[in-house]
Structure 1
Amino acid sequence: MKAAQFSRFGGPEVLETVDLPTPEPQAGEVLIRVHAAGINFFEVLMRADGYAVTPQLPMVPGVEAAGVVEAVGQGVDGALIGTRIAAPLFASTRPFGGYAEYVTIDAGLGLPLPAPLSSEEATALMVQGLTAFHLLRQSPPANRTVLVPGAAGGVGSLLVQLAKRQGARRVIGLAGGKAKLDVAMSHGADIAIDRHSGDWEAETRDAAQGGLDTIYDTVGGAMTGDFLDILAPGGELVFAALGRYALGVARLEAMIGRNQSLKGFALLPLLSPGVLRASLSELFDLAASGDIVVTTGGRFPLDQAGEAHRLLEEHRSIGKVVLIP
């Protein structure tokens, strides 16, 4: 089978297409012909050896895929063959390997796709959809004014929609450039603000109309301190970014004086097998019924995996970026 892997750390060019043996489904597993594999920013960091954990090389990235069951292992009902299924590899004992034509996964982790839902949409609702879904469970938006940075991205575009559905008083989207602002507005943001504007902090304060109650920080870095500066007294900043947070002592002392709260967020510890299936089922049903819209911002063949990474690395992507093996 064809797969995209990297054998050394570096830029997008280190991703190369290789021939690997097609995996055999073991007892309790299914073999899936991949129709779409999701790309996530932490995979970009891994490729450059900039993630919290250094992966073993060579590595075939990809923690989420969707496609059709082609074979089953011992003990699995053969009626599953031909079923369209989502493969949340990140929850399995082999959490990578999605950038390939085939993957195997425990049959109990695979989730059938509703008929209207495409494989591409399903990939967007795994890591990124679950992140948005559980961020709002940890810090509910009802009756609060919330800020969603990266409001046109894979997580942000879903956060905007879900926060509106869950009764946020006002949803402010923060994004870079007109195209991304338009996406945020189309998904229901009450206002979208360009982060490239020199006055974005003042514009956000004005848009909050009485105070910014919650900020879902999926960006991190230097912007975290700016977010604290515009957070209302008594407000909550939720840390959900992959990068480091630049917070000095002075800002932390100011936060204490303003009764502000900091909350950490990590997805995987929240996902027991039952919670994973229930959460994905709810997200799949919402998307299949049209109650939320999945934005796919880029489709690449396996041999262009490096270009897909470059799109994310340069922050040019809108919505979910996928590989189509």
Structure 2
Amino acid sequence: MARVVRFHRHGGPEVLRIETVDTPPPARGEVQIRVRALGLNRAEALLRSGTYIETAMFPSGLGLEAAGIVEVVGEDVAGFVPGESVSIVPPVSMVRWPAYGEFATFPAEFVVKHPPELGFEAAAAVWMQYLTAFGALIDIAGLARGEVVVITAASSSVGLAAIQIANRIGAVPVALTRSSIKRRALLDAGAADVIALAEEDIRSRLEDVAGSDGVRVVFDAVGGPAFEPLTAAMAPGGILIEYGGLSPEPTPFPLSNVLSKSLILRGYLVHEVIRDSERLAKAKAFILAGLSDGALKPIIARTFPFEEIVEAHRFLESNTQFGKIVVTI
């Protein structure tokens, strides 16, 4: 028996319950871990509220990221033994493999031996953010040394991961944020420049930063009215990778900019990297190397105990955090 977080209906954070359930052993090809820390993601709030790309089956578990200790190894699994410290690459289904619990089971290919110096809290904050940013910037956009990359929602965990990845390869990360409140923190986190959306003219500021050639790569989690000035400041043949859609306002299609500059507007889900074993292997190698050499350092906004999972989700939805929210067990 073990405690898990489940919900029996869609709604706000208050629908989350801690319940005690049986813990079946891992199936063939799976590994069960004793969870020590969880990394929270906006996808979990979307599943809970009924607006995620996956459909909950009630009562539903949830959660995409965990770190802990190998408890039981299923049949046909090699390379893991009980007692090892591991972290989890987010599975494609959190309904099938939920992370929020004292014990959690995952396919062995998603279990990773991370650098031991990370600790469980940092390890639980690694894979979603760095895989998402790597897949967009390196795998898809081919971001190169010296190039300017625009990163919106820059104070999110993925935004901060993108800043670190850009710096690791010698690119120039320009952070976009709603106001100047987080400017100093973003600069300290490695942003080369910070633009406050509500206080500055996006197009003119980007032209100042990138020059008349424009910006080739934009990594956007927001959408909304900013599409127009963002694409206006892009270089011919540039690519805007959209992975979020956080804006409550409609997102206009910038037809004139797209046509005149032959821009690529590309939707992106991290699942396309996770589902592809070759792409995932390259991403894991880059991330593990960055963690080992210190270029990639998870930034944790706040840590909550397991018993305060409702409060943790309320903080997740406040949009005030700077970095990753972690829950410890």
Asked if these proteins are the same fold (TM beyond 0.5), I'd say yes
Distance 1:23 1:185, change over 3 A: farther
Task: Determine if contact 2:304/2:326 at 8 Å carries over to the other structure.
Answer: yes
CA offset digits 1:4-51 (Å, max 9, x no partner): 221111111111211122232233332201111121112111111122
Q: Is the 8 A contact 1:235 1:261 kept in 2?
A: yes
Question: Per-residue displacement from partner, 1:159-206 (whole Å, max 9, x unpaired)?
Answer: 1121122232x3211124455323321232111122332545543443
Consecutive unaligned residues of structure 1, counting only runs of 5 or more, are none
Report the CA distance shift for 1:101/1:41 in structure 2 as closer, same or farther (over 3 A): same
Q: 1:5 to 1:209 in 2, by over 3 A?
A: same
Question: Compared with structure 1, are the counterparts of its residues 16 and 152 closer, same or farther at alpha carbon in structure 2 (3 Å cutoff)?
Answer: same
1:42 aligns with 2:46: no
How many positions carry a matched residue from both structures? 323
Cα 1:116–1:8 shift into 2, 3 Å: same
Amino acid in the other structure paired with 1:291: A
With 149-158 and 301-310 compared, the bigger mean Cα shift is at: 301-310
Q: Greater shift after overlay, 195-204 or 289-298?
A: 195-204
Contact persistence 1:34–1:102 (CA under 8 A)? yes
Shift of 1:278: 4.1
Determine which of 144, 154, 157 is the counterpart of 2:157: 154
Query: How far apart, CA to CA, are the structure 1 residues paired with 2:92 and 2:221?
Result: 21
Distance 1:10 1:221, change over 3 A: farther
In structure 2, distance between residues paired with 1:218 and 1:69: 34
Output the CA distance in 2 between the equivalents of 1:77 and 1:145: 42
Does 1:203 pair with 2:194?
A: no
Report the Cα distance in structure 2 between the residues aligned to 1:93 and 1:274, rounded to whole angstroms.
22
Query: What is residue 90 of structure 1 aligned with on the other side?
Result: 91
1:174–1:181 contact (8 Å) kept in structure 2: no
Tell me which amino acid in the other structure corresponds to 1:311: F
Query: Partners of 1:92 and 1:277 in 2: how far apart?
Result: 19
**Partner of 1:230 in structure 2?**
233
Q: Which residue does the alignment assign to 1:219?
A: 222
Calculate percent identity across the aligned residue pairs.
30
Partner deviation per Cα, 1:121-171 (whole Å, 9 max, x = no partner): 223221211011111121122242221111121111111121122232x32
Partner Cα separation in structure 1 for residue 83 and residue 120 of structure 2:
14
Shift of 1:275: 3.4
Structure 1 contact 141–167 (Cα < 8 Å) conserved: no
Q: 2:176 corresponds to which residue?
A: 174
Give unpaired runs (5+ residues) of structure 2.
none
Query: Which range is displaced more, 228-237 or 121-130?
Result: 228-237
Equivalent positions of 1:246-265 (< 5 A) are: 246-248=250-252, 251-265=254-268
Q: Against the structure 1 CA distance between its residues 79 and 7, is the aligned structure 2 distance closer, same or farther, given a 3 Å change threshold?
A: closer
- The structure-2 alpha-carbon separation of the partners of 1:45 and 1:28, relative to structure 1 and needing over 3 Å to count, comes to closer
Residue 266 of structure 1 and its aligned partner are, at CA, apart by 2.4
Indicate yes or no: 2:116 matched with 1:140.
no
CA distance in 1, matches of 2:187, 2:159: 12
1:172 partner amino acid: V
Distance 1:150 1:34 in 2: 29
Q: Name the structure 1 match of 2:127.
A: 126
* Aligned Cα root-mean-square deviation (Å): 2.6
Indicate the SS of the match to 1:22. Answer: coil
CA distance in 2 between counterparts of 1:97 and 1:9 reads 16
What is the distance in 1 between the residues matched to 2:104 and 2:111? 11
